[in-house]
């Protein structure tokens, strides 16, 4: 079986995506995850272009990688300098990576318009830069920018540019569909032609998704002989993004029979995709192939009954091969089996005809129509399940809260202060605390009252806090009066759990989630001690 190498550019081209901003530390953490996943090349950034990337290459020097080679990215040297004097090439060498990737112009109008140099001079820039780097670095990759557009308009010049890089010693020639405008059939034709003209070159493909063809174009290039695919996790990237590695890899591995990252790593694709979207702080795309939350979610009644007989009927691959799972969406009969499945997972034994199941289904449907989303808040679901089973938790009772935010100076943050009254084990506790914002103040005041009785609450750490405005409600009531859902992820060093609140009022929604998080911690500890 032939090997295909994956070249990840999430940290460089991916970071060009709208709304995506990565700190140096984010980049280091993502690089480590990519290495764990078995990715072969990680492009860390453009050391000459901004301070984040420069710092990244400094910090990453202390990390060792198991699988991946690190690459620094930059352009051919500037026309006004020799390679020796070019600050951009110098920056690439200072990064001290085993691989350097440089891009050069292969579309004639790009050389003359964007770069503003004569066509012959551009060929020199390419050859000089590659040769200069190849003498100083293990591996030099040449990204042929706009290759397919160039090949369509001036094939002779595009091939000349590629040849210049090849003859100067480039280890790989990566054909880029920089504008993402090429059709799959055009990619096929061009790759076939290059294979004929430069049979000894090792080719790669770098596709963009502007025509929604980046994955297909990458696969087509591989089918015709390319041995490397460049892309990004979740397809992040400038404009419509890059070829989505989360789709490219499973297609190559499961359907085309190539050895890529291996089946074992492939089964960890989904957690890595989620890790990156989490760090990037971008909402995951539900309908994303392979790793999306909806990718194996069945809603249609016919589909549900068929997959219960044989999953192949409506699933193209077993979800677990990419770390995903089958979901049956709450609707009609599917609801009951879903609740039973979930309850069973949590260790509660329920018969299908137990009236609790009906009651729970009814409550769940009401809550979900209000905006609660139990599929992501397991801890809140378990608390609801216990209520339905007649076993509600009884650690404390709410009496009262009061939160104040006061701002008295133009450039200062407001002062936030909260008071809370709760009854705990027959005693009334009245506490007060300040905080960084009203929710933090409330959280601190509540815990102050409870920690006297339950000292292990001191172990709770709030790991994440997400707020979503529910768009259904926006339409009805508009803007600042709309429904919000708050999700809180908590941890105590041993476990992590997610709780939820929904309300018109963000304070109330957060309060619900905080209360659930604390109750869940107390319940969990009690179970563990019992």
What part of residues 247-286 is at the interface with its own copies (CB under 8 A)?
Answer: 247, 251, 255-256, 278-279, 281-283, 285-286
Which one among 110, 195, 202, 448 touches its own copies, defined by CB under 8 A? 110
- Give min distance, CB of 142 to its own copies, in A: 17
Q: Which is nearer to its own copies, 62 or 369 (by Cβ)?
A: 369
Judged by CB under 8 A, does residue 394 bind its own copies?
A: no
The span from the CA of 282 to the CA of 128, in Å, is: 40
x/- letters, 341..370, toward its own copies (CB under 8 A): ---------------------------x--
Judged by CB under 8 A, does residue 428 bind its own copies?
A: no
Q: Is-contact 448 431, C-beta < 8 A?
A: yes
Judged by CB under 8 A, does residue 296 bind its own copies?
A: yes
Q: Which is nearer to its own copies, 43 or 443 (by Cβ)?
A: 443
At 348, give phi and psi (nearest 5°).
-100, 130
Q: Which is nearer to its own copies, 415 or 452 (by Cβ)?
A: 415
Q: Which is nearer to its own copies, 93 or 470 (by Cβ)?
A: 470
Judged by CB under 8 A, does residue 117 bind its own copies?
A: no
- H/E run at residue 105: strand 99-105
Buried (b) or exposed (e) across 104-131, using 16+ Cβ within 10 A? bbbbbebbeeebebeeeebbebbbbbbb
Judged by CB under 8 A, does residue 26 bind its own copies?
A: yes
The span from the CA of 462 to the CA of 521, in Å, is: 12
Q: Is-contact 444 433, C-beta < 8 A?
A: yes
Which one among 391, 398, 458, 459 touches its own copies, defined by CB under 8 A? 398
Judged by CB under 8 A, does residue 106 bind its own copies?
A: no
Question: Residues touching its own copies: how many (CB under 8 A)?
Answer: 140
β-strand pairing of 461-469 with 484-491: antiparallel
Q: Which is nearer to its own copies, 131 or 282 (by Cβ)?
A: 282
Q: Which is nearer to its own copies, 68 or 473 (by Cβ)?
A: 473
Q: Which of 235, 229, 236 is nearest to 202 (CA)?
A: 229
Judged by CB under 8 A, does residue 2 bind its own copies?
A: no
Q: Which is nearer to its own copies, 82 or 505 (by Cβ)?
A: 505
DSSP-assigned letters across all residues of 147-197:
HHHHHHH-HHHHHHHHHHHHHTT-SEEEEEETTS---HHHHHHHHHHHHHH
At 30, give phi and psi (nearest 5°).
-65, -40
520: its two tokens: 């869940």
Handedness of CA 152, 154, 156, 159 (dihedral sign): negative
Which one among 106, 416, 431, 519 touches its own copies, defined by CB under 8 A? 416
Stretch that binds its own copies, among 20-28, 117-125, 166-174, 195-203 (CB under 8 A): 20-28
Stretch that binds its own copies, among 120-128, 160-168, 385-393, 504-512 (CB under 8 A): 504-512
Which one among 68, 176, 339, 506 touches its own copies, defined by CB under 8 A? 506
Q: Which is nearer to its own copies, 262 or 301 (by Cβ)?
A: 301
The span from the CA of 29 to the CA of 59, in Å, is: 11
Judged by CB under 8 A, does residue 79 bind its own copies?
A: no
At 465, give phi and psi (nearest 5°).
-145, 115
What part of residues 467-496 is at the interface with its own copies (CB under 8 A)?
Answer: 467-472, 474-475, 477-482, 484, 488, 490
- Give min distance, CB of 375 to its own copies, in A: 6
Which one among 440, 498, 499, 519 touches its own copies, defined by CB under 8 A? 440
Q: Which is nearer to its own copies, 32 or 375 (by Cβ)?
A: 375
- Give min distance, CB of 482 to its own copies, in A: 6
Q: Is-contact 500 485, C-beta < 8 A?
A: yes
Stretch that binds its own copies, among 59-67, 133-141, 312-320, 387-395 (CB under 8 A): 312-320
- Give min distance, CB of 72 to its own copies, in A: 16
Judged by CB under 8 A, does residue 49 bind its own copies?
A: yes
Q: Which of 78, 93, 171 is nearest to 125 (CA)?
A: 78
Would you tell me how many other CB atoms lie within 10 Å of the CB of residue 89?
26
Would you tell me how many other CB atoms lie within 10 Å of the CB of residue 248?
28
Q: Which is nearer to its own copies, 298 or 342 (by Cβ)?
A: 298
320: its two tokens: 């677990």
Handedness of CA 474, 480, 482, 484 (dihedral sign): positive
Q: Which is nearer to its own copies, 67 or 274 (by Cβ)?
A: 274
Judged by CB under 8 A, does residue 290 bind its own copies?
A: yes
What part of residues 190-249 is at the interface with its own copies (CB under 8 A)?
Answer: 209-213, 215-217, 219-220, 223, 235-236, 238-241, 244, 247
Q: Which is nearer to its own copies, 68 or 297 (by Cβ)?
A: 297
Buried (b) or exposed (e) across 445-472, using 16+ Cβ within 10 A? bbbbbbeeebeebeebeeeebeeeebee
HSE toward the beta carbon, residue 401, CA cutoff 13 A: 24
Judged by CB under 8 A, does residue 410 bind its own copies?
A: yes
- Mapped onto helix, strand or coil, the DSSP state of residue 333 is coil
């Amino acid at each position: 079986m032939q090997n295909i190498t994956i070249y990840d550019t999430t940290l460089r081209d991916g970071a060009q995506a709208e709304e995506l901003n990565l700190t140096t530390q984010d980049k280091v953490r993502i690089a480590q995850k990519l290495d764990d996943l078995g990715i072969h090349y990680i492009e860390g950034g453009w050391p000459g272009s901004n301070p984040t990337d420069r710092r990244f290459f400094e910090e990453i020097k202390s990390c060792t990688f198991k699988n991946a080679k690190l690459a620094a990215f930059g352009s051919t040297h500037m026309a006004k300098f020799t390679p020796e004097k070019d600050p951009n090439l110098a920056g690439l060498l200072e990064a001290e990576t085993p691989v350097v990737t440089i891009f050069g112009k292969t579309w004639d109008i790009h050389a003359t318009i964007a770069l503003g140099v004569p066509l012959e001079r551009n060929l020199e820039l390419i050859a000089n830069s590659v040769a200069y780097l190849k003498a100083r670095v293990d591996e030099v990759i040449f990204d042929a920018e706009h290759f397919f557009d160039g090949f369509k308009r001036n094939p002779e010049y595009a091939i000349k540019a590629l040849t210049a890089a090849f003859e100067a010693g480039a280890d790989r020639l990566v054909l880029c569909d920089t504008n993402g405008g090429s059709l799959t059939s055009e990619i096929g034709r061009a790759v076939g032609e290059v294979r004929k003209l430069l049979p000894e070159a090792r080719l790669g493909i770098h596709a963009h998704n502007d025509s929604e063809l980046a994955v297909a174009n990458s696969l087509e290039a591989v089918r015709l002989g390319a041995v490397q695919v460049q892309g990004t996790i979740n397809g992040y990237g400038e404009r419509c993004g890059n070829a989505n590695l989360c789709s490219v890899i499973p297609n190559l591995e499961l359907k085309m029979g190539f050895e890529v990252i291996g089946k074992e790593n492939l089964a960890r694709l989904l957690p890595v995709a989620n890790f990156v979207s989490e760090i990037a702080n971008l909402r995951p795309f539900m309908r994303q192939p392979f790793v999306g939350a909806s990718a194996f979610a069945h809603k249609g009644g016919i589909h549900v009954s068929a997959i219960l007989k044989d999953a192949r009927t409506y699933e193209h691959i077993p979800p677990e091969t990419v770390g995903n799972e089958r979901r049956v969406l709450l609707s009609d009969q599917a609801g009951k089996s879903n609740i039973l499945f979930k309850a069973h997972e949590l260790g509660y034994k329920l018969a299908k005809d137990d009236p609790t199941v009906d009651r729970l289904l009814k409550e769940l449907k009401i809550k979900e129509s209000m905006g609660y989303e139990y599929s992501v808040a397991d801890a809140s679901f378990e608390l609801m399940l216990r209520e339905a089973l007649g076993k509600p938790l009884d650690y404390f009772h709410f009496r009262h809260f009061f939160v104040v935010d006061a701002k008295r100076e133009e450039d200062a943050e407001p002062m936030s202060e909260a008071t809370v009254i709760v009854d705990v084990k027959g005693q009334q506790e009245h506490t007060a605390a300040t905080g960084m914002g009203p929710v933090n103040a409330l959280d601190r005041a509540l815990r102050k009252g409870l920690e006297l009785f339950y000292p292990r609450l001191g172990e709770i750490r709030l790991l994440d806090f997400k707020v979503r405005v529910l768009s259904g409600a926006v339409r009805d009531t508009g803007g600042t009066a709309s429904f919000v859902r708050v999700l809180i992820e908590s941890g105590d060093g041993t476990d992590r759990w997610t709780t939820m609140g929904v309300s018109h009022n963000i304070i109330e929604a957060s309060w619900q989630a905080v209360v659930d998080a604390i109750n869940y911690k107390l319940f969990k500890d009690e179970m563990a001690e019992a």
